[in-house]
Amino acid sequence: MSQLDNRLDGLLELRKAKGRFRRLREYDTSRGSGLTDFSSNDYLSLTTSDELRADYLKRLNDTDVILGSTGSRLLSGCTPAHSHLENRLCDHFGAPAALLFNSGWDANVSFFGFVPQPGDWVVFDELVHASVHSGMRGSRVPSARRLQFAHNDPESLAAVLRKIAAQPSSSAAPPTVFLALEALYSMDGDFAPIPTLLDVFDQHVPREQQCVIVDEAHTTGVYGSQGRGIVHQLKEGAGRDDGRVTVRLMTFGKGVGCSGSVLLASDTVRSFLINFARPFIFSTALPVSTVLALESAWDLLSSEGGQRKRDDLAAIVAYFQELLAPVLARTPPELLRLPDPTPTPFPGAPEGLSAHPHSPIHGLLSPTPHALSAFLLARGFIVRPVVPPTVPPGGERVRVCLRAGHSREEIAALVSAVAEWVDSGTAEAEAAKAGRPLRARL
């Protein structure tokens, strides 16, 4: 073993000792595998859509375009296909400008790594995605000017903003205060109360100093008219764009069933990213084959068929919650529970959006997520454990993701396996084995 491997091995052993070792696991979820996937972000089941596959293959056959992109967008990789998709998405989302990225990760690292300047402030929900943190860490904004607030908590946001207001301004130009939110959080499966948080922001930061970024990774394609997301739906419901959310990230690896992302922002921000964002400048552009797949996916998402998939998903989520509720009601919360729900995220039920929409993500908090995941896998369900550092200590869980293509039978079978985990005493026995016995029984 080389000296390097030796050193790295030591670090891996430390990680194993903390129970945080990650390894790749291959799952075959194809038809006939006997496994039902409840872990993927393919919320609308587009990756297995026959209609989408047929349209994509036809599109590939009908065009004589190259399959790859051959270079970065600034060199040879800006093909008519890329420009067409970018313009289409700009129109579709009603944005001033749009810029494609190879992933949501790249877009967040680019935006947060390069747009905020040293005198600015970045305020973020404590549960924002790792890509936002990576971007901020690589930025020129000192860590003392990057402040988190408690998850979805308007009071905590107000406290952070008061702290900022109390700081003497160190530069002649007033700083921009960036506010980073996610429309739907990937681990707790709860929606940001965007209107309330924006009102708090308005009370403490003058409009001209605001820059609000909403990451719609888990809502793209899934919510809003023709899959345009939550922010668009809030605007449509209000009947006007109050211009408060100026940057949106829509990603394509989850509900859209492909990969890549588009950042929607002003023309100036777009131009700034093209000039300064290293992940954009120094990376080969999305393959043309992916761009074509995205054209097909957005055709489907904008059609009645797309709306049917969104409706199917909403029905499946409602069914799952209906079956799960009595199981959780009879289970000690130390063994299994859902995170506390956010109070009504969208009060006043804006047109086209419920005041409390259903979420396809359910983080079932459990002291023994690995054992629960293995128990469910033995019964044919892929439900992955999520442990620190992905979630804070104490937030260990299994993450159940529902899809439009799940059948009611699959949902009922999964919930009865969860009920078996609790009712057979396995949950309690595993908790005791892990040194986490029920408090009530100590």
Ligand X SMILES: Cc1ncc(COP(=O)(O)O)c(C=O)c1O
List of residues contacting ligand X (CB under 6 A): 103-105, 108, 129, 131, 182, 186, 215, 217, 251, 253, 261
DSSP per position, 353-383: S-SS---SEEEEE-S-HHHHHHHHHHTTEE-
Q: Which is nearer to ligand X, 104 or 175 (CB)?
A: 104
Q: Which residue has the tokens 């924006």?
A: 198
141: left (phi over 0), alpha (psi -120 to 50) or beta: beta
- Angle, nearest 10°, between helix axes 230-238 and 194-204? 80
Q: Which residues contact 212 (CB under 8 A, 6 or more apart)?
A: 178, 179, 181, 198, 201, 244, 245, 246, 247
Minimum gap (Å) between residue 253 Cβ and ligand X: 4
Minimum gap (Å) between residue 106 Cβ and ligand X: 7
Q: Which of 250, 442, 236 is nearest to 346 (CA)?
A: 236
Q: Which is nearer to ligand X, 109 or 336 (CB)?
A: 109
Structure tokens at 261: 């992302």
CA distance 390 to 410: 28
Q: Which is nearer to ligand X, 131 or 368 (CB)?
A: 131
For residue 339, give the DSSP letter: P
Q: Which is nearer to ligand X, 181 or 324 (CB)?
A: 181
Q: Which is nearer to ligand X, 108 or 373 (CB)?
A: 108
Minimum gap (Å) between residue 309 Cβ and ligand X: 20
CA distance 370 to 352: 39
CA distance 42 to 382: 14
Per the CB < 8 A criterion, the answer to whether 403 and 313 are in contact is yes
CA distance 27 to 18: 25
Structure tokens at 371: 């054992």
Residue nearest to ligand X (CB): 104
Q: Which of 301, 398, 313, 310 is nearest to 360 (CA)?
A: 313
Minimum gap (Å) between residue 232 Cβ and ligand X: 17
CA distance 431 to 437: 5
Q: Which of 86, 5, 34, 4 is nearest to 382 (CA)?
A: 34
Minimum gap (Å) between residue 117 Cβ and ligand X: 23
Minimum gap (Å) between residue 212 Cβ and ligand X: 15
CA distance 188 to 181: 14
Q: Which is nearer to ligand X, 55 or 125 (CB)?
A: 125
CA 126 vs. chain centroid, Å, equals 14
Q: Which is nearer to ligand X, 186 or 290 (CB)?
A: 186
Minimum gap (Å) between residue 215 Cβ and ligand X: 5
Q: Which is nearer to ligand X, 258 or 427 (CB)?
A: 258
Minimum gap (Å) between residue 99 Cβ and ligand X: 14
Q: Which is nearer to ligand X, 249 or 427 (CB)?
A: 249
Minimum gap (Å) between residue 286 Cβ and ligand X: 11
